Amino acid sequence: MRLAKRVQQLPPYLFAAISKMIEDKQAQGIDVISLGIGDPDLPTPMHLIARLQEAAEDPVNHRYPESEGLPELRDAIGRWYATRHGVTLDSATEIIALIGSKEGIAHLPLCLIDAGDVSLITDPGYPVYEVATMFAGGHSVKLPLSEENGWLPNFEDVSSDDAEKARILWLNYPNNPTGALASISFFEEAVAWAKKHDVVIAHDLAYADVTYDGYIAPSILEVEGAIDVAIEFNSLSKTFNMTGWRVAMAVGNAEVIDALTRIKTNMDSGLPQAIQQMAITALDDPRDAISSHNVIYQRRRDRAVQVLQELGLRVESPKASLYVWAGLPIGETNSADYAERVVKETGVVLTPGSSYGDAGEGYIRISLTLSDDRLDEALERLSRFARGETVL
């Protein structure tokens, strides 16, 4: 049997490898605590579950949904953007519902990329941007990010040849894995560059509402004229602890939204309508649940940063996202080796920064998405590891 080249070229998915490592350690009888995957441990608010149960009992929701999402859901997304970001969207042409933002991100290159075309991808960055480009027949050009530049790309570093071939510029702020932030002035610069080179910006805003210390994350669509060149992915996964329900949206340029709709109608049958009804309730709710969740995450962040600094890692408190990004201790140079040694000696799983690209080497990422007692146990093990004590 001969598999397609695109499958043969496919690297192991980062979090599948982490899951396998956890499984192997557990088979050895080790109590593994994973700080690797950003899947909220906090439950979906119960009133949203009640709305889902109610909607599931309605026979109208037992049939095929629409690929683009119910008009009522797209209207609710429009209201969310108007209230949260001051952005006015046409719900009929500038909004589409997604089966999780990962699905939309994976499908977008099929709308824009032909053989020989380029995606500009920040490094470090979410691996799906590159894989989706490869599936569409294009190739990726990495824009290295650095701590010194605030983990923001420098568009002047893009060669004229790459700029000419580029069809998509992928951005993600608040950023995974670094937790970096982008200002409106940065987005203005990105929009101007994209217009000059006729490139579509795909902005991944998955962590817009997991924020701390009073920080409010902007949408790129808040920039005047951004909708001419930009599409934005947003999700209820982290905002409402709804990762398992797979509900998200893409909003922005009508031509790109139309192309994504055409791809989706040929690829999937849309998001289950009962889940869409739950999403409508979430989007129209006050922000009380979001605020209470963020208080918990911020407390975990503060504790994690304190311990990581005691370990000798270079770390600043992130103002957004579910992660802490930390530079390795002095004398350590290989993040994969460091993470492997940590899990062997402590049973605590860290994500090597190199998993997100070459520019992530020298860093590790930890997730804040596990219960307080398990996080405290993980941090205590790491403290003992730093003191040279035997942990396991």
179-184 contacts, C-beta under 8 A, 24 or more apart = 179/318, 179/319, 179/320, 179/321, 179/323, 179/324, 179/325, 180/145, 180/150, 180/151, 180/152, 181/150, 181/215, 181/217, 181/319, 181/320, 182/152, 182/218, 183/218, 184/218, 184/222, 184/223
**pLDDT of 14 above 90:** no
Cα–Cα distance measured from residue 278 to residue 51, given in angstroms and rounded to the nearest whole number: 6
With beta carbons less than 8 A apart as the criterion, state whether 129 and 141 touch: no
Question: 232, 256, 284: which is the final residue of a domain?
Answer: 284
Residue 51 counted as domain residue: no
Within this chain, do residues 30 and 117 fall inside the same structural domain, yes or no? Answer: no
Within this chain, do residues 266 and 299 fall inside the same structural domain, yes or no? Answer: no
What CATH number does residue 78 fall under? 3.40.640.10
Residue 92 counted as domain residue: yes
- Count of the separate structural domains present in the chain: 2
Within this chain, do residues 100 and 179 fall inside the same structural domain, yes or no? Answer: yes
Could you give the C-alpha distances from 337 to 49, 94, 328, 354, 362, in angstroms and in order? 42, 45, 11, 10, 10
Residue 142 counted as domain residue: yes
**Banded pLDDT at 327 (limits 50, 70, 90):** very high
Question: 284, 315, 346: which is the final residue of a domain?
Answer: 284
Residue 238 counted as domain residue: yes
Within this chain, do residues 143 and 36 fall inside the same structural domain, yes or no? Answer: no
pLDDT of the residue at 18:
66
Confidence (pTM): 0.95
DSSP 141-184: EEEE--GGGTT---GGGS-HHHHHHEEEEEE-SS-TTT-----H
pLDDT of the residue at 267:
92
**Banded pLDDT at 15 (limits 50, 70, 90):** low
Mean pLDDT over 2-28 rounds to 76
**pLDDT of 13 above 90:** no
The label of the residue with tokens 């480009």 reads: 133
* pLDDT tens digits for range 221-243: 999 999 999 999 999 999 999 99
Within this chain, do residues 266 and 294 fall inside the same structural domain, yes or no? Answer: no
Within this chain, do residues 240 and 312 fall inside the same structural domain, yes or no? Answer: no
- Domain containing 317 equals 5-44+289-386
pLDDT of the residue at 12:
67
> If DSSP codes are grouped into helix, strand and coil, which group holds residue 71?
helix
Residue 232 counted as domain residue: yes
- Average model confidence (pLDDT) for the chain? 94
With beta carbons less than 8 A apart as the criterion, state whether 327 and 314 touch: yes
Question: 255, 284, 313: which is the final residue of a domain?
Answer: 284
Within this chain, do residues 74 and 199 fall inside the same structural domain, yes or no? Answer: yes
What CATH number does residue 335 fall under? 3.90.1150.10
Half-sphere exposure (CA, 13 Å, Cβ side) for 131? 18
Within this chain, do residues 269 and 366 fall inside the same structural domain, yes or no? Answer: no
pLDDT of the residue at 310:
86
Within this chain, do residues 103 and 208 fall inside the same structural domain, yes or no? Answer: yes
Structure tokens at 319: 């103002």
**Banded pLDDT at 119 (limits 50, 70, 90):** very high
Within this chain, do residues 317 and 334 fall inside the same structural domain, yes or no? Answer: yes
* pLDDT tens digits for range 132-168: 999 999 999 999 999 999 999 999 999 999 999 999 9
Cα–Cα distance measured from residue 303 to residue 324, given in angstroms and rounded to the nearest whole number: 11
pLDDT of the residue at 8:
83
Within this chain, do residues 73 and 191 fall inside the same structural domain, yes or no? Answer: yes
